[in-house]
Amino acid sequence: MIDIHSHILPGIDDGAKDLKDTEELLKQMENQGVTTAVATPHFYPGSAVFDDFLESRAAAMSKVCDLCGGAKKIKILPGAEVLYFSGIGNSEDICKLTLAGSNYLLLELMGLKAIDYRVINDIYNLKANFGIITIIAHIERYYKYKGYKELLTLVQSGDAVSQINASHIFSSREKRAVKKLIKSGMAHFVASDCHNPVNRPVELDHAYNEIKTLSNEQYLKIVNDNESMERELLAAYEKQNG
């Protein structure tokens, strides 16, 4: 199992505040069968410079690798949760923030007043200009946004893919939207979006069990999608890092 969206790096964003938090989150992942975790700290374009962000991420990754030692059971890959900004589809620097150096970008749309034609065009342009496939982070959070249907059309067409949060399967606000996404086959990846071991833990095992009760067919599809993603990201990372 792969977790493509996690905030396990210590002291870099609003996720794990220290190595103790990181260690607890990794234990939760291990107990729930996670074999690969993508560390995706927030990248806010208005307050971060690409190279500075990469330097901070590398330093935090190094701390986690030292914590795990040489025999770590979970492979940790670098990534980012990138907050949308106008013109992202034409930004060459965005290629530095893909998951493990692959052609997948985890994109967050929080804070937008609407998902309008500019957002949709930017997602198209990421693919057209750089071959980047956009993963819409926690897509269920946007179900009340103007333009949500257009976002779903983008996913249906294959020009973007979606990720749902494990915890939202049980939440009072997003549960209905999540179940619709699962039953319609528009939920590609389940991720923890974990931030800390107490208030925002991993919860992947409970989520997968619930998905199976909703639709065994979609459960198998999501499992296969996640397994394929794990292989693809590991291959991209190994190719980039020898």
In which domain, by residue range, is 92 found?
2-241
Residue 70 has what pLDDT? 47
Least Cα distance to 16 among 46, 54, 42, 51 occurs for 42
Residue 68 has what pLDDT? 66
* CATH (domain of 207): 3.20.20.140
Residue 71 has what pLDDT? 43
Residue 199 has what pLDDT? 92
- For the chain, the farthest-separated pair of C-alpha atoms sits apart, in whole angstroms, at 48
When divided into structural domains, the chain yields a total of: 1
Read off the pTM: 0.96
CA distance 1 to 29: 9
Residue 48 has what pLDDT? 73
CA angle, 182 then 188 then 190, to 5°? 80
Residue 72 has what pLDDT? 62
Residues (pLDDT < 50) of the chain are 70-71
List pLDDT tens digits, range 38-89.
999 999 998 778 999 999 999 999 988 877 654 468 999 999 999 999 999 9
CA distance 48 to 44: 6
Residue 73 has what pLDDT? 80
Residue 42 has what pLDDT? 97
Least Cα distance to 161 among 101, 222, 116, 75 occurs for 222
Secondary element (H or E) of residue 119:
helix 117-130
